[in-house]
Every structure is written in structure tokens, then in C-alpha cells.
Structure 1
Amino acid sequence: MEYVNLGRSGLKVSRICLGTMTYGTPEWRDWVLDETQSRPFIQRALELGINFFDTANMYSLGKSEEVLGRALRDFARRDEVVLATKVYFPMGDKPNQRGLSRKHILASIEASLTRLGTDYVDLYQIHRFDDETPIEETLDALHSVVQSGKARYIGASSMYAWQFARMLYTADQHGWTRFISMQNHYNLIYREEEREMLPLCQSEGVGVIPWSPLARGMLAKAARTRQPGRYPARQTDTLATSNWYYQMLTTL
């Protein structure tokens, strides 16, 4: 396995990161594997040298973090792995159980650490941009999370380049912790990020963590003849089932 620095940080991560959205409980989505089915994948990833694991509080409404946390405790030492999770999406039906307010960020990191069974995460990521919360409030809260030792670094995911540029600039202006990574939708079919986000990340020294690099499995050889709507995961994925997506796949 090859290991690289994540952005301009000193954090070494494996070239391949194992995402865990499909691990947790099928009660959340019927294409999710339960804990018994998930553990062999995590164990095998470790055996192959993968040290980078990504989850989010909203995956299986917290169960993904629990499954990943238990597996890593059983199969690896904490200092051997790079553990990443996220915050933004609703974790309940109350008004402050979502978004990137200081209240929700500080409550969410505590809840994630409890579910993961650890006292810190290596990378704490904002899952989306929150246009209902001042970016200064969000960045200050993330800085507090790092200063408290509950996260080593921070990252971002899935937003417009101009939004990310504003956040980077504001963090620099205030001396707050800077994002070291951007997790964005990018693969051989969906390449929109090449217009603005990837050049921005290259210029700013931000590491890129593509999500859905195999286009939800559609770029895997066995999946190329699958039809729209045939599999459960496709039935809840409007992008993967669109005619455009399949037309692009046929072109490739």
C-alpha cells in the first residue's frame, strides 16, 4: 500500500480510503450491510494496508460509527488508523439537531466519539455547506473541537468552490484551524469538479478524497450491464438511475 500526506498536513493516509456508508443497519437503507456482514470488509482492508477509514454520524443514524468503532478496536490499534467522520445532516427532528451551528457541532463530536469508542477522531469533516449559519460561527466551533483535542484535523465535503474558498479565506483571516481535505463527488463519469474545485484544492494545498470513485459500482466490470432500477441502491439514487448517467457510461 502506498501512503501519502493528506493535503499539506503531515498526516499519512493510504491511497485507498474505505468508506463505510454501506455498513450499519439495513433498517436505515435496505442496501446497507449489518455488523456481521460488515466486519470482514474492515478486517480485510486493514490486512491490505488500508489505514484510512471514513464514516459519518448520519450513516445508519449512528450505527455505522458504532460498527466501525468496534471493528477497529478488535482488529487494529488506535494509533495505527486514521479515523474520519462528519457532521451536518439531521440526527433528530429538533431544530438544533442539524446543520453547522456551534451547538450542533459540539454536541455532534461528543456523540460521534461515544459511538466510535474513542476520545478523538483524526479528521472531522463538515458534510455540506450550511447557508443558515455564519461561516465564522462554524469555523470557530471547528477550531474549538481541534483545540480541545477531540479532532486532529478538519475537512469539508460537497460544496461549491466559491463557498469553500470563502471558508478557507475566513479561517486564514482569523487564525483558525484550516481545512486539509475536500471530499467531493468525482469519478470517470462525473467530472464537474475539474472545473473549479480541483484547481482550488491544488492551489490551496488541500487534499482531495473523491467519494463514489467507481460511480456507485457502475464503473466496476460486473456492473456495466446492469439496468436502471434493478438493484435497491440504484432505486434510491436519482443520479445513478438517470439516463444521463447511463449514457455517459455507455460512451466510456
Structure 2
Amino acid sequence: MTEMEYTKLGTAGLDVSRFCLGCMNFGSGAEWMMNDEEASIELIHRALDLGINFLDTANVYSHGESEEIVGKAIEGRNRDELVVATKVFGEMGDYPNGQGLSRKHILDQAEASLERLGTDYIDLYQIHRWDDETPIEETLSALNHLVETGKVRYIGASTMTAYQFTKALYKSDIEEYERFTCMQPEYNAVDRHEEANLLPVCEGEGVGVIPWSPLAGGFLTGKYERDGDVEEGLRADTDEYTQERFTDENWTVLDEIRAIADEKGTSPVQVSLSWLLHKPVVTAPIIGPRSIDHLEQSVEALDVRLTDTEMERIESPKTPHWPVAHKN
């Protein structure tokens, strides 16, 4: 069995596994999600047994159900060995202050997440999106308070413009607020727009990168065919996010990934994840398996080595652009 590897989260002293277990699939929601609490807990336990110590969820995932499932899965485990991450921003109630990054919403939701997770502290608390309606100083002050009171250990961010993130880092530095330790961007072999946006900031500022959608919503698993019908039950059958990846450029990238996988006797999943692991700026891709078999296949990507030529073969069909130019 593949031995798990660990690395630092950016320039922080925190050790995290090279894969982070994404927990969006846990809870009752879309058809492509697991929709089975017992199976979800079993999958989390298998991830922990494989050496994954890094779990990422959010308050909005199935409106709190994902956090509750994670809480049940880690109950009785040595909390010191786990890095539990969650996020705040999205709508948790149809009422004033029911979403966003105001001090009130952040502090209220931190308490709610702690209760659902069944823990005394959150290792990594992330802002899920940028809030145009709240001054970043207010958001940073609230996050800083959570760190100072011991309810949060590190803070992170997700999905924004390079200007917004740079502004937040600058404000933290001059106001002496807690600094964002990591960024969670969309990043994979067909969605590379962050190479022209957030990733240079992260690299220059020593910020860890934990990419979401490392398999492009399942597109890079190789389970779809260019001219084939989508099987019922697969994510692309109902999910527009995956369907949007069905472009000529992306199929060309997938053709190269499949060819490399065949040459190495491995799978498109493992080549796609290995491509991310070979990027120096990437700390830990967030994988979202729906079965233990998928989980184990993903972890085996740690054993796949890509040459510079193979990396170029995967990258050559596309040129990163910001803003995103490919969705049509």
C-alpha cells in the first residue's frame, strides 16, 4: 500500500497530508453525492487509516450535514492527529446576517460549526468567498478574534481575485491581524486560469495551496467519452459544472492524460492528481471520492512520477487566462 506523504501548509509549521479529503459529498443533496451517512463515515475512517490527516468541509455543505458527519467520524479519534478545516460565507438562513463575512455571521457560524463538528477548535477556518458588502478589515478582525480565543488555529481563503487576496494579506500585515495561511482555488489540468491569477500571489507570499476540483468535476477520471452518451447516475448526467468541461481543448488534454496513463500502466485519475502533486505551489489537492475504491486509487497517485516532457504534454493544449475564458 502507498505510504502517505506529509508537507507543511505554506510557511506555517502545520503538517498536512499530501491529499486533503474533501467532504462536500457527505450529506443529503444532489444525486451524485453519497447520500449515505454510514458509508460516508466508513470512507472517512478509511482515509484516516491511509494516513490522510486533513479533512475539509464547509457549513453550507448539505446545510451543516457534512460537518455533522465529519464530527461523528472523528469522535473518539485522537484530535491532536487531525487537521479539521471548514468554511464560512454561504447562506445558512433566509434572514438578515444569514450569510456573508460580517463579524456577527463569522462568530455565529464558528460556534455552529464547532457544535456540529463536536470539537473545541477548528484547525483551519476559511472564508469560502470574498464578500463585497463587508470591509475586509471587519472580516480579518473577526477571524483574528477566533484565533486569539483559541477556537481557530489557522485561517484560509478560497476563490477570489489576486487583487482581493493581495489586499487581504496587506491589511493583515499592516494591521497585525492573523494572516491567511492557505488558499483554496479551483485548479486542475483543464482549469488552469489560477496560474494567471491567484497562484503567483500564493507562491510569492508563502501561502499554501489546496486545490478544489482536482479532477474537474470527474471529467479527468476518464469515465466520459468525447462522442459518447453520459451514463445515468454519473455526475455529468445532471451537473452543469462537469458538462462545461466538455470542450475540444479539454478533450485534447484528456487524450494526453489517457495516453500517459496507458504508457505507465496506471489510470487517468492518478496521472491527473500526480500532475498537481508535481506543481511546487500545490500543498494538497482536495479529493472527493464517493467510494473507498476511488479513495484508494487516488492515494496511489503518490507513486506516479511524471517527467518534464509528460507535464508539457498535458499542459501544451491550453494557455491559462484570467478571467476564465473557457466556459461556453
Q: TM-score range by the shorter chain?
A: over 0.9
Say whether residues 1:20 and 2:23 are aligned partners: yes
- Relative to 1, partners in 2 of residues 1:227 and 1:77: Cα closer, same or farther, differing over 3 Å? farther
C-alpha contact 1:186 1:210 (8 A) present in aligned 2: yes
CA drift of 1:53 comes to 0.3
What's the CA shift string for 1:159-183, capped at 9, x where partnerless? 1111000000001110000000000
Match of 2:74 in 1: 72
Higher RCO, Cα 8 Å, sep 6+: 2
Q: What secondary structure sits across from 1:210 in the alignment?
A: coil
What's the CA shift string for 1:1-44, capped at 9, x where partnerless? 1100001100000000000000012xx32322221121121111
Matches within 5 A, 1:45-194: 45-74=47-76, 76-194=77-195
Say whether residues 1:238 and 2:240 are aligned partners: yes
Q: What secondary structure sits across from 1:71 in the alignment?
A: helix
Match of 1:196 in 2: 197
- Relative to 1, partners in 2 of residues 1:227 and 1:249: Cα closer, same or farther, differing over 3 Å? farther
Amino acid of the structure 2 residue aligned with 1:104: H
C-alpha contact 2:235 2:242 (8 A) present in aligned 1: no
* Alpha-carbon separation, structure 1, partners of 2:210 and 2:159: 11
* Alpha-carbon separation, structure 2, partners of 1:113 and 1:236: 33
C-alpha contact 1:129 1:158 (8 A) present in aligned 2: yes
Moved more, 216-225 or 137-146: 216-225
Say whether residues 1:10 and 2:13 are aligned partners: yes
* Alpha-carbon separation, structure 2, partners of 1:232 and 1:163: 35
What's the CA shift string for 1:179-221, capped at 9, x where partnerless? 0000000000000000121111000000000000011121113
Give the unaligned 5+ runs of structure 1.
none
Match of 2:251 in 1: 250
* Alpha-carbon separation, structure 1, partners of 2:111 and 2:248: 44
Matched residue count: 248
What's the CA shift string for 1:80-102, capped at 9, x where partnerless? 11000000000010120100000
* Alpha-carbon separation, structure 2, partners of 1:114 and 1:209: 25
* Alpha-carbon separation, structure 2, partners of 1:223 and 1:39: 28
Q: What secondary structure sits across from 2:214 in the alignment?
A: coil
* Alpha-carbon separation, structure 2, partners of 1:118 and 1:18: 18
TM-score (normalised: structure 2):
0.72
Amino acid of the structure 2 residue aligned with 1:172: D
- Relative to 1, partners in 2 of residues 1:236 and 1:110: Cα closer, same or farther, differing over 3 Å? farther
- Relative to 1, partners in 2 of residues 1:146 and 1:240: Cα closer, same or farther, differing over 3 Å? same
* Alpha-carbon separation, structure 1, partners of 2:89 and 2:238: 20
Match of 1:210 in 2: 211
* Alpha-carbon separation, structure 1, partners of 2:114 and 2:150: 12
User: What percentage of aligned pairs have identical amino acids?
Assistant: 54
Amino acid of the structure 1 residue aligned with 2:26: Y
Amino acid of the structure 2 residue aligned with 1:54: D
Amino acid of the structure 2 residue aligned with 1:161: A
Q: What secondary structure sits across from 1:90 in the alignment?
A: coil
CA drift of 1:248 comes to 3.0
Match of 2:310 in 1: none
Amino acid of the structure 2 residue aligned with 1:213: P
* Alpha-carbon separation, structure 2, partners of 1:153 and 1:194: 25
Give the unaligned 5+ runs of structure 2.
254-328
* Alpha-carbon separation, structure 2, partners of 1:69 and 1:182: 24
* Alpha-carbon separation, structure 1, partners of 2:51 and 2:107: 32
